[in-house]
Amino acid sequence: MRATRIPLLLIVVLTMLIGASCNTFDKVKKSNDINLKLTKANEYFEKKKYSQANELYHDLLPVLRGTKNYEQLFYRYAYSFYYLHDYPTASLYFKNFSEYFPTSKDAEECEYMNALCLVKMAPKASLDQTNTIKSMEALQSFINTHQQSSRVREADTLIEEARKKLEKKDANAAKLYYNIGQYKAATFCYKNIINVYPESPSADFYQFMVVKSNYEYARKSVSNKQAERYASTIEAYKELKEIFPNSAYLKEAAHFELLANNNLKKLK
């Protein structure tokens, strides 16, 4: 099959159009005509050419400070960073907008967009979650100050998703401690997860892992510490049975409770 050949004339025309477009932008950028620059910047923004719009807005920002066009310019400048996926800078400008123009009709939106940028900056669960925590704080602040906003429901959803990510990171850490034989640390981590996320659908699993970790910790302990730690295993099992009577992990947990009881009898 012969490869499709692009006609030479079409290549020439496309090259000329691209060159003309670049030349137009360069001329506008170098121009001292403020109105022309603003008009073109807005045209680029409307056409989703955010990189060109961003450059022109950057030049215009100090020039138009204090004028009637400054608020909309600042608003679109913030959004140009957002659409370019530069979320740290977008977050800064959205936050500044809501502070510089607190009575603006767009102030609430920009406050929310600041929080949304922080959400976008938050990494996957295996990495540092500082930005996830910051995003939750910003979203909660938004909810507290805009309780009637139509964006509150979405903010609540984003907070819940962020909590799940933090829970996953903590659960992964607890699992790692268990897998490498650090059973005391695993027990502490699983208990902490239950305290922080008591409504988690995995709460009964975490309590089961407290039982299991306690048992392994007791089994690997020196003899004069084993009785106390086997007793902790039995107590953890009782909590699982009491709080989660329908848990799918009860049967397996009962096995460790039985082993702990048998070992206690031997020690006595």
CATH code, domain with 188 = 1.25.40.10
Query: Which structure tokens are listed for 49?
Result: 């050419």
Q: Is residue 229 part of a domain?
A: yes
Q: Is residue 22 part of a domain?
A: no
Any idea what the Cα angle at residue 112 is, between residues 123 and 52, rounded to 5°? 80
pLDDT score for 7: 58
Question: Does pLDDT of 77 surpass 60?
Answer: yes
How far apart are alpha carbons 210 and 17 in whole angstroms? Answer: 68
Lowest mean pLDDT among 6-10, 171-175, 219-223, 235-239: 6-10
Q: Is residue 59 part of a domain?
A: no
Torsion from C-alpha of 86, 92, 98, 100, nearest 10 degrees: -120
Centre a 10 Å sphere on the Cβ of residue 12 and count the other Cβ atoms it contains. Answer: 10
Query: Which structure tokens are listed for 68?
Result: 């009637």
Using alpha carbons, select from 251, 217, 249, 246 the residue that is nearest to residue 233.
Answer: 217
Question: Does pLDDT of 5 surpass 80?
Answer: no
Q: Is residue 85 part of a domain?
A: no
Q: What's the mean pLDDT in 179-194?
A: 97
Query: Which structure tokens are listed for 8?
Result: 């030479």
pTM for this prediction: 0.77
Query: Which structure tokens are listed for 18?
Result: 């691209």
pLDDT score for 240: 97
Using alpha carbons, select from 265, 254, 245, 171 the residue that is nearest to residue 215.
Answer: 254
Question: Does pLDDT of 13 surpass 80?
Answer: no
Q: Give residue 125's pLDDT band: very low, low, confident or very high (50, 70, 90).
A: low
Residue-range definition of the domain harbouring residue 232? 181-268
Q: Are 108 and 149 in contact (CB under 8 A)?
A: yes
Query: Which structure tokens are listed for 266?
Result: 């031997």
Helix, strand, coil percentages for the chain (3-state, nearest 5): 75, 0, 25
Query: Which structure tokens are listed for 199?
Result: 């409504």
Q: What's the mean pLDDT in 112-126?
A: 86
Q: Is residue 257 part of a domain?
A: yes
Q: Whole-angstrom distance between the N-terminal and C-terminal Cα of the chain?
A: 86
Q: Is residue 35 part of a domain?
A: no
Q: Are 61 and 74 in contact (CB under 8 A)?
A: yes
- DSSP state letter for 128: -
Q: Is residue 106 part of a domain?
A: no
Q: Is residue 66 part of a domain?
A: no
Count of alpha carbons within 13 Å of 197, Cβ hemisphere only?
23
Number of domains in the chain: 1
The residues, any chain, with a CB within 8 Å of residue 14's CB and separated by 6 or more, are none
